């Protein structure tokens, strides 16, 4: 009987990790795309949004948290948490609460699925958002990605709306899921 390596999650603070995180992103992002997604659109999205330069920028940004999952062999997954108001008006209309954080991206290498990395990353993302004093944590998930939707439901997320996602010129449809982290503020002002 062999022991599985222990998965550890930490905050990426060293910009030197950006290349390794971008490599994981390039492998994992296509796996979450719908089967009809054109390969050139996927490649374009990766080049523009998941490059080492982008990850270096996120690591340096106080309004972002790049979490990495490792198992002794290197980075096996990552999660990007952004502390900001939703930039999409459709999301802003359904994600109610202030402040908010977004799980912008969360992926694990396919040969590490089932090892607990996804759960550990999401638990860390919830902790990061809570530590940021966010009232709500939200994310978008493709409406065809049923496996991911089930995972997020297990983590306490519920569908609150829909939005579109521009995959390098190809419009995809996502569900907006959110999870309440704190009790909403109660207006105690007398009318």
167 and 136 Cβ atoms separated by less than 8 Å: no
Provide the domain count of the chain.
1
What does the pLDDT look like over 44-62, one tens digit per residue? 999 999 999 999 999 999 9
Predicted TM-score (pTM) of this structure: 0.89
Here the CATH number for the domain that contains residue 139 is 3.40.630.30
Element (H, E) at 54: helix 52-60
**CA 140 to chain CA centroid, nearest Å:** 8
Domain containing 58 equals 8-180
* Residue 124, both tokens: 């860390």
Residue 185 covered by a domain: no
114 and 69 Cβ atoms separated by less than 8 Å: no
Residue 2 covered by a domain: no
pLDDT > 50? residue 65: yes
Residue 187 covered by a domain: no
Question: CB neighbours of 150 closer than 8 A, spacing ≥ 6?
Answer: none
**What is the pLDDT at residue 185?**
57
Compute how many other C-beta atoms are within 10 angstroms of the C-beta atom of residue 20.
17
Higher-confidence position of 14 and 186: 14
Residue 133 covered by a domain: yes
In the 8-state DSSP scheme, what is residue 135? S
Helix, strand, or coil here: 93?
helix
> What whole-number distance in Å separates Cα of residue 71 and Cα of residue 22?
17
What does the pLDDT look like over 121-174, one tens digit per residue? 999 999 999 999 999 999 999 888 899 999 999 999 999 999 988 877 778 889
Confidence of residue 191 (pLDDT cuts 50, 70, 90): very low
Residue 186 covered by a domain: no
Residue 91 covered by a domain: yes
Q: In what order do the strands lie in the sheet with 64-70?
A: 8-11, 64-70, 75-82, 100-108, 136-142, 170-180, 158-167
> What whole-number distance in Å separates Cα of residue 32 and Cα of residue 23?
15
Strands 100-108 and 158-167: unpaired
């Amino acid at each position: 009987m062999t022991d599985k390596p222990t998965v550890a999650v930490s905050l990426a603070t060293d910009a030197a990790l950006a290349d390794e995180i971008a490599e994981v992103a390039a492998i994992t992002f296509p796996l979450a795309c719908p089967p009809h997604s054109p390969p050139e659109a996927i490649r374009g999205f990766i080049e523009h949004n998941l490059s080492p330069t982008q990850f270096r920028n996120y690591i340096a940004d106080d309004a972002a948290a790049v979490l990495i999952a490792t198992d002794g062999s290197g980075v096996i997954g990552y999660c990007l948490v952004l502390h900001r108001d939703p930039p999409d008006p459709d999301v802003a209309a359904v994600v109610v609460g202030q402040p908010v954080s977004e799980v912008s991206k969360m992926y694990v290498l396919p040969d590490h699925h089932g090892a607990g990395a996804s759960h550990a990353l999401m638990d860390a993302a919830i902790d990061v958002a809570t530590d940021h004093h966010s009232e709500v944590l939200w994310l978008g998930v493709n409406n065809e990605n049923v496996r991911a939707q089930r995972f997020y439901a297990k983590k306490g997320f519920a569908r609150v709306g829909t939005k579109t996602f521009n995959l390098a010129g190809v419009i995809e449809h996502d569900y907006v899921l959110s999870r309440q982290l704190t009790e909403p503020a109660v207006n105690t002002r007398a009318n």
